């Protein structure tokens, strides 16, 4: 079985370690923990992670968040991955920091990266893991907030939250989206 796990983010040093790049951060940490590395390929950096007979193609699109659909579609086609085996990792303003929510489908929730994936694939029927980044910013400063760096408290808590994301990715591939939701979404 083959899966595509697309962690959304923006390329470039100025975006490194920002809230909007949590998708990249999750995949980078998984690669480090698994002793695998990313290669720069068409439309993104790609690594192959193997777990319990499953192959997870890890994708960090180089198209910037707002055009993520192009990269996701390309790698789904190239690797012959079904829509049911796609998992997109994104930041979520509507959830408190560190809250993780896996969903089997849904709208874009105002996230431009999800909008792009939905438009290019022509469907909302794919799993997404929303990583809560909170919404503690003054009105009108949403862009500055998501492109901002993590607070000191958040930096201390990130490793545990990211490790839980790795557990969710593995469970998605081995137990399926429904069982994974039941296991992890109740944790707050």
**66's tokens:** 């707002």
pLDDT digits (tens, 9 = 90+) for 162-177: 999 999 999 999 999 9
How far is residue 10's CA from residue 23's CA, in Å, rounded to a whole number? 9
Which one of the listed residues 20, 60, 111, 130 is annotated catalytic?
Answer: 20
Opening angle at CA 175, ends 56 and 46, nearest 5: 10
- Res 136 pLDDT > 90: no
pLDDT digits (tens, 9 = 90+) for 72-114: 999 999 999 999 999 999 999 999 999 999 999 999 999 999 9
Q: What is the largest CA-CA distance in the chain?
A: 47
pLDDT digits (tens, 9 = 90+) for 8-59: 999 999 999 999 999 999 999 999 999 999 999 999 999 999 999 999 999 9
Q: Has 111 been annotated as catalytic?
A: no
Average pLDDT of the residues in 113-138: 95
SS3 for 80? coil
Question: Where are the domains positioned within the chain?
Answer: 2-187
Q: What is the pTM of this model?
A: 0.96
Q: Is 45 exposed, middle or buried (0-12, 13-18, 19+ CB in 10 A)?
A: buried
Q: According to the CATH classification, is domain 2-187 in 3.40.50.1470? A: yes
Q: How many helices (H) and strands (E) does the chain have?
A: 6, 7
């Amino acid at each position: 079985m083959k899966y595509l796990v697309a962690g959304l983010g923006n390329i470039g040093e100025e975006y490194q370690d920002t809230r909007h790049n949590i998708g990249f951060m999750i995949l980078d940490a998984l690669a480090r923990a698994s002793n695998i590395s990313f290669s720069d390929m068409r439309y993104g950096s790609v690594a192959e992670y193997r777990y319990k007979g499953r192959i997870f193609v890890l994708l960090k699109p180089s198209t910037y968040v707002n055009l993520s659909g192009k990269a996701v579609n390309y790698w789904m086609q190239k690797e012959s991955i079904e829509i049911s085996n796609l998992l997109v990792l994104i930041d979520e303003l509507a959830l408190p920091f560190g809250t993780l929510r896996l969903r089997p489908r849904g709208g874009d929730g105002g996230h431009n990266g999800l909008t792009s994936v939905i438009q290019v694939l022509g469907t909302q029927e794919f799993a997404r893991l929303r990583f809560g980044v909170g919404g503690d910013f003054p009105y009108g400063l949403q862009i500055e907030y998501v492109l901002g760096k993590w607070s000191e408290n958040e930096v201390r808590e990130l490793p545990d939250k990211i490790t839980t994301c790795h557990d969710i990715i593995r469970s998605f591939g081995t137990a399926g989206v429904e069982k994974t939701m039941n296991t992890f979404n109740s944790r707050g």
